[in-house]
Amino acid sequence: MTAHTADEITGRLRAAGCVFAEEEARLLIAAAATPVQLSAMVGQRAGGMPLEHVLGWAEFCGLRIAVDPGVFVPRRRTEFLVIQAAAGAEAGRGAAGGGLASGGLARPVIVDLCCGSGALGVALAAALGGADLHAADVDPAAVACARRNVVPAGGRVHAGDLFGALPAELRGRVDILAVNVPYVPTGEIALLPAEARDYEPRVALDGGPDGLDVLRRVAAEAAAWLAPGGRLLTETSERQAAAAAQIVAAGGLAAQVITDDELGATVVIGLRS
Ligand SMILES: C[S@@+](CC[C@H](N)C(=O)[O-])C[C@H]1O[C@@H](n2cnc3c(N)ncnc32)[C@H](O)[C@@H]1O
């Protein structure tokens, strides 16, 4: 079936189970260059592809972030991590008399590890009015996508396994280490919505038997990469929060759990004192 009018498209999306069908129809109509393209996009969305993959972008912290097929879609709840990271950096600025804890002055060193599209790093750098921004991911599709977002923001993207991807000169100099690790327990991947299960790579979701395996590896090395006063921020679920905080503390950081009920977000912050 070819959908033509906004009402027809809305009806088709609604029938396919899209909760925000009217808004999605509006976005698809605005994005399509031709009726043929619009029809194809509506078909993709009605077939279950995440809206962000159909459009090629996601809105995150008020920015338009390119999201390629096969790359994790930045979630709205993760904006909480960015807000907290920016608040911590501003507090550090005040406490250090104009500089961040490392003496980073107006140009903090930000690392967005497990960066996916690079949304966190780009949003954080924008919130802080500039940064020495580095992003890294192990998945080549994510690295290519992150380059589309991070390089225009003045940052660099590295490919590889966790800290192994980073330039050695960043060791001990990172002011903000933002890491949205995969944290879904392996046994729960099958329970995720089809949009995640079918369109996001397993490496972006699977956190091992208890969902905390990647965080364990991050926490074991984070202190060595952070500057004095630098912070690790990592998203987790409410259920995993206590265990995640213990893991961060075991890495030698002062751990704190913060939540935002409205966004349904839980973040563990680890401070290198
Ligand atoms: C939950 S997604 C988060 C992506 C992005 N930070 C965001 O919030 O939109 C996790 C990301 O971690 C990456 N990843 C998984 N294991 C990794 C590893 N060992 N080293 C680097 N990146 C890894 C995946 O490729 C994926 O892009």
Helix, strand, coil percent content, the chain, rounded in steps of 5: 45, 20, 35
What is the mean pLDDT, run by run of 10 residues, along the chain of 273 residues? 81 96 97 96 97 98 98 98 94 60 68 98 96 98 98 98 98 98 98 96 98 98 97 98 98 98 97 95
Side-chain-side CA neighbours of 76 within 13 Å: the count stands at 6
User: Quick check: CB of 124 below 6 Å from ligand 1?
Assistant: no
Query: Which of 143, 203, 205, 233 has most ligand 1 atoms within 8 Å of its beta carbon, as the pocket-test mutant?
Result: 203
Write the residue with the smallest CA distance to atom 24 of ligand 1. 204
Residue in this structure with the two tokens 């790359």, named with its chain if needed: 71
Q: Which pLDDT score, from 0 to 100, does residue 4 have?
A: 74
Pairing of strands 226-236, 265-271: antiparallel
Q: Distance between CA 222 and CA 220 in Å, rounded? A: 6
Radius of gyration over every alpha carbon of the chain, rounded to an integer in angstroms: 19
Phi, psi of 130 (to 5 degrees): 125, 150
Burial of 226 (0-12, 13-18, 19+ CB in 10 A): buried
The set of residues, in sequence order, having a beta carbon less than 8 Å from that of 236 and lying 6+ positions away, is 183, 212, 215, 244, 266, 267, 268
What secondary structure letter does DSSP report for 8? H
Instruction: Return the structure tokens found at 258.
Output: 């913060």
What secondary structure letter does DSSP report for 253? -
Q: Which pLDDT score, from 0 to 100, does residue 220 have?
A: 98
User: Quick check: CB of 218 below 6 Å from ligand 1?
Assistant: no
Cβ–Cβ under 8 Å, residues 93 and 100: yes
User: Quick check: CB of 204 below 6 Å from ligand 1?
Assistant: yes
**pTM, rounded to two decimals:** 0.94
Question: Which atom in ligand 1 lies closest to the alpha carbon of residue 74?
Answer: 9
Question: Which atom in ligand 1 lies closest to the alpha carbon of residue 71?
Answer: 27
Q: Which pLDDT score, from 0 to 100, does residue 91 have?
A: 80
Q: Distance between CA 118 and CA 120 in Å, rounded? A: 6
Q: Which pLDDT score, from 0 to 100, does residue 98 have?
A: 47
Greatest CA span in the chain, whole angstroms?
63
Best CA proximity match to 195, nearest among 76, 32, 47: 47
